[in-house]
């Protein structure tokens, strides 16, 4: 079997997009998340369930509570990915800030946000990433922090580079930072990716395009925020995260 070309993948992505537009026109709700079965992303073929999910509506479900993290689970330096080695990493230094909210707009306070990313050349500090871009001895690319009482997180890092992968011939991922976020309930857990505004690779990437709803895709893209840029140090990006899923009943006492 010959490897698919970008044109093949483009055709499949268009078909999936058209099918989604048809369902919307027929009155279905917006797709807030990627479909797990998205053929243009080849690895999804054998890694998605075929049976529908079983809906659990149980006020006593364990998943309405969730794990907690504290001061001992992070160090202050963990949020500065440029400070994990003796020297300074190469690349465009950036600060990424935002808030973690639930769907009612309430801040998610004191919860864990983890990030990982490629270096400025588009290479991960992972032995399975063998593509011929240089590793940076001063950059690993993993960090974490706890949200403050307003749900705010902040990281200092370098802008990751785009990189090739083997989904199809000449496949390239747009630059992105992986985010792992906890809510107050395990059911709110999310792992996702933050993209940078104006990246020319968006249209070619089946992982981003697996979110077939345009507005939902837009929620994965940070905005450049000049107010977050630090003079003579870094460029600022803002990206807020809204967690899906239910949590235990909220009361006036909940922070």
Measured between alpha carbons, how far is 77 from 156 in angstroms, rounded to an integer? 10
Check if 126 is active-site: no
Pattern 90-109, binding to another protein, x per CB under 8 A? -----------xxxxxx---
Q: Which of 124, 195, 204, 237 is catalytic?
A: 124
128 is catalytic: no
Distance (Å) of CA 112 to CA 36, 105, 145, 147:
25, 18, 6, 7
For the bound state, the minimum distance from the C-beta of residue 204 to another protein, rounded and expressed in Å, comes to 16
Q: Which of residues 149 and 232 has its CB atom nearest to another protein in the complex? A: 149
At residue 230, the 3 state secondary structure works out as strand
> Which of 34/89 has CB closer to another protein?
34
Residues 149, 155, 156: CA angle, nearest 5 degrees: 145
Which residues from 121-140 bind another protein, rule CB under 8 A?
124-126, 128-129, 140
Residues 147-186 that bind another protein (CB under 8 A): 178, 180, 186
Active-site residue 178, yes or no?
A: yes
Residue 184: partners with Cβ closer than 8 Å, 6 or more residues away: 65, 66, 102, 108, 111, 247, 248, 254
Stretch of 15-23, 131-139, 153-161, 187-195 lying at the interface with another protein (CB under 8 A):
187-195
Question: Total number of residues binding another protein (CB under 8 A)?
Answer: 89
Cβ 81 to another protein shortest distance, Å: 10
Largest CA distance in the chain: 60
- Tell me phi and psi for residue 158, to 5 degrees: -115, 155
Which one of 13-21, 120-128, 154-162, 225-233 is the stretch in contact with another protein (CB under 8 A)? Answer: 120-128
For another protein, which stretch binds (CB under 8 A), given 3-11, 14-22, 116-124, 230-238?
Answer: 116-124
124 in active site: yes
Contact 177, 137 (CB under 8 A): no
* Residue from 103, 104, 108, 137 nearest 120 by CA: 137
Q: Which of residues 222-241 bind another protein (CB under 8 A)?
A: 240-241
69 and 209 Cβ atoms separated by less than 8 Å: no
What tokens were used for 249?
Answer: 């009943």
> Which residues inside 21-80 make contact with another protein, applying CB under 8 A?
28-30, 32-36, 38, 41, 43-51, 53-56, 58, 60-75, 77-78
Instruction: List residues with catalytic annotation.
Output: 124, 163, 173, 176, 178
């Amino acid at each position: 079997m010959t490897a698919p070309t970008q044109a093949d993948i483009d055709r499949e992505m268009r078909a999936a997009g058209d099918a989604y537009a048809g369902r919307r026109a027929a009155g279905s709700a917006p797709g807030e998340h990627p479909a797990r079965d998205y053929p243009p992303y080849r690895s999804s073929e054998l890694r998605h369930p075929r049976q529908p999910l079983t809906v659990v509506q149980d006020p006593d479900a364990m998943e309405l509570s969730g794990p907690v993290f504290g001061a001992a689970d992070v160090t202050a330096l963990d949020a500065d990915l440029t400070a994990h080695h003796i020297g300074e990493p190469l690349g465009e230094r950036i600060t990424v800030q935002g808030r973690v909210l639930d769907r009612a707009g309430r801040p998610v306070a004191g919860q864990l946000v983890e990030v990982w990313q490629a270096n400025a050349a588009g290479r991960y500090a992972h032995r399975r990433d063998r593509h011929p871009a240089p590793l940076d001895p001063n950059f690993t690319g993993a960090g974490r922090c706890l949200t403050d009482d307003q749900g705010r997180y902040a990281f200092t890092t370098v802008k990751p580079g785009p990189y090739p992968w083997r989904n199809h011939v000449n496949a390239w991922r747009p630059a992105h930072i992986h985010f792992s976020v906890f809510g107050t309930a395990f059911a709110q857990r999310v792992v996702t990716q933050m993209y940078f505004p104006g990246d020319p690779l968006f249209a070619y990437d089946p992982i981003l395009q697996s979110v077939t709803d345009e507005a939902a895709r837009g929620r994965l893209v940070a905005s450049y925020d000049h107010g977050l840029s630090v003079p003579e140090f870094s460029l600022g990006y803002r990206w807020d995260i809204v967690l899906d899923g239910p949590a235990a009943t909220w009361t006036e006492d909940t922070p």
